[in-house]
Amino acid sequence: MQRPTRRQVLQFAAAAPAAGWLARHGVTAAQEPDGAISVYASGLFNPRGLVFGPDGALYVALAGTGEADQAPSAVKIENGCPVTVAHGLPSSRGMSGAVQGTGSVAFLGEQMYLLQDSQDDRGDLLDTQPNGVYKVEADGTATLVASISKWMNENPTKEIPGDRGKLGETFAMLAGDGFLWVVESNCGQVLKVGPDGSITRVADLSEGHPVPTGCALAPNGGIYVGNLTDAPYPQAKAKVVEVAADGSVKDVWTGLTMVVALAVVDGVLYACEMSTENTTQRPFVRPGMGRIVRQDGPSGLVEVVSGLDFPIGMTTGPDGMLYVASPSLGSDGAAGSVLRIDPKSTYLTPPKDLYDAATCPGFQEARAALAPAFATMAAEADKPAATGEATPPANSVEITIKDFKYAPPSISIKAGKTVTWTNLDSVAHTVTAVDKSFDSGNLNQNQSWFFTFDKAGTYDYICSYHPDMKGTVVVE
Ligand SMILES: [Cu+2]
């Protein structure tokens, strides 16, 4: 099929800016050009970062099953299916139940490196298998090269987020010229890690908790870095910055949403958005709302493909195609895949039978099990916010939520009293009883929620997004 000219693409963009929307609402999209989107690999346990190795094969980091088992940490794709090349790094469950484990793979020459990204709160791993860079040995075991968890604790960023955990969130890794770039998401920083284990901070991106995520090489020795934003992942508030080799930072692409990965093809930037049009109700994201977009001006974009289920990793192949790993949520099994997508496409949507021919072990079964998990997620995200029309009694006890703290953190009240929490932070929080006896649900900025305590007792509560936020209500 002949490629549309740039003018035709622009005309189509002007005529049908909501093609993704049309597809989601059952309106048939135009015929997809043959080969514009296809399944390159399947049967993956929570695929994350991916890269083509020096042998020309695709390597994929796997977060695993969420259990401390022997699922592979990284695989090589052969004939569309995974072959284990590294194992032994932990897999665990992170915030919102998402599986976390090995997050990225990169090569310096022939040597393979993995970036471990266990759930930030796993302090028990600090001295044994911390987050950081590991070297893959000939027998497939992984040896620690640089503990980024430990280094972060000794070298804090300018701002420390309220949800700071003990390990950090080592989200993405990319091979530079003789060293590895690492993006740490929780505090927000770009690091250089040498094969000798040395760690240097190139840029401190901690201000305002942007949650930097995916990266791609930029011209002149720097990198592009996208950001996720904080919950509830608002529309068009994410961006891509360029971190130059000297550490200076400038915006290069704004107006994006929940960016998790970047790629450059023929000098043009592409962003992978994990989920768009997010809601204000946990888990905020819904399946089928992920997309790949192409830069079109400093704040402009053209949709390459929409309708993806939580895409999380993206790289370019030697063939100039985009390779996209998904889903990042919803499965503990082998439901993960890598799609091969023509970057020159516009307004693609995955055809319904896309996965029918994928036969890697465990894939079809795990994919069938995704449907109910996805349906639950979508229903939760679309539920109306917990805060209703009702107003608390006039003698309610007030607690504010500010700077990731409940103030006052501990109160004593008589049975029958009502407590009202008001979130003054720009990021969302919750008021969630540790024993699950009450839960505010999502509280956006300036939203309030109240609860009447009828029974004596000590009620410990946390923010379910930021479990380090703790409060106590003692009812006498
Ligand atoms: Cu919070």
Element (H, E) at 14: helix 6-15
* Rounded distance from Cα 158 to ligand 1 centre (Å): 20
pLDDT values of the chain reduced to their tens digit, one per residue, 476 residues: 333 333 333 333 333 333 443 344 333 444 456 789 999 999 999 999 999 999 999 999 999 998 876 779 999 999 999 999 999 999 988 656 789 999 999 999 999 999 999 988 888 999 999 999 999 999 999 999 999 999 999 999 999 988 788 999 999 999 999 999 999 999 999 999 999 999 999 999 999 999 999 999 999 999 999 999 998 899 999 999 999 999 999 999 999 999 999 999 999 999 999 999 998 888 899 999 999 999 999 999 999 999 999 999 999 999 999 999 999 999 989 999 999 999 999 999 999 999 999 999 999 999 999 999 899 889 888 876 555 446 777 788 999 999 999 999 999 999 999 999 999 988 889 999 998 889 998 888 888 899 999 999 999 999 988 888 999 999 99
> Of 173, 182, 191, 214, which Cα lies nearest the Cα of 328?
214
Ligand 1 geometric centre to CA of 463 (Å): 5
Task: Identify the residue whose tokens are 């499965």.
Answer: 331
Structure tokens that stand for 337 in this block: 């895949």
Q: How far is the CA of 123 from the centre of ligand 1 (A)?
A: 20
Instruction: Pinpoint the residues of the chain covered by CATH 2.120.10.30.
Output: 6-381
The Å distance, Cα 60 to ligand 1 centre, comes to: 32
Cβ–Cβ < 8 Å for 318, 52? yes
- Candidates 187, 268, 281; CA nearest to 233 is 281
Comparing C-alpha atoms, which of 183, 156, 161 is closest to residue 231? Answer: 161
> What is the CATH code of the structural domain delimited by 397-475?
2.60.40.420
Distances from the Cα of 89 to the Cαs of 35, 168, 319, in angstroms?
A: 36, 16, 31
* Ligand 1 geometric centre to CA of 203 (Å): 26
Span from the CA of 19 to the centroid of ligand 1 (angstroms)? 35
CATH architecture observed for domain 6-381: 6 Propeller (2.120)
For CATH 2.60.40.420, the residue range(s) in the chain are 397-475
Interstrand relation of 410-413 and 470-475 (parallel, antiparallel or unpaired): parallel
CB proximity list for 185: less than 8 A, separation 6 or greater: 169, 170, 171, 211, 212, 213, 228
How many angstroms is it from 235 CA to the middle of ligand 1? 20
The two tokens of residue 393 are 């009694």
Q: Which two tokens stand for residue 112?
A: 């393979």
Distance CA 103, CA 109 (A): 20
Q: What is the pTM of this model?
A: 0.79
Task: Tell me, in angstroms, the distance from the centre of ligand 1 to residue 250's CA.
Answer: 29
Cα distance between residue 270 and residue 12, in whole Å: 19
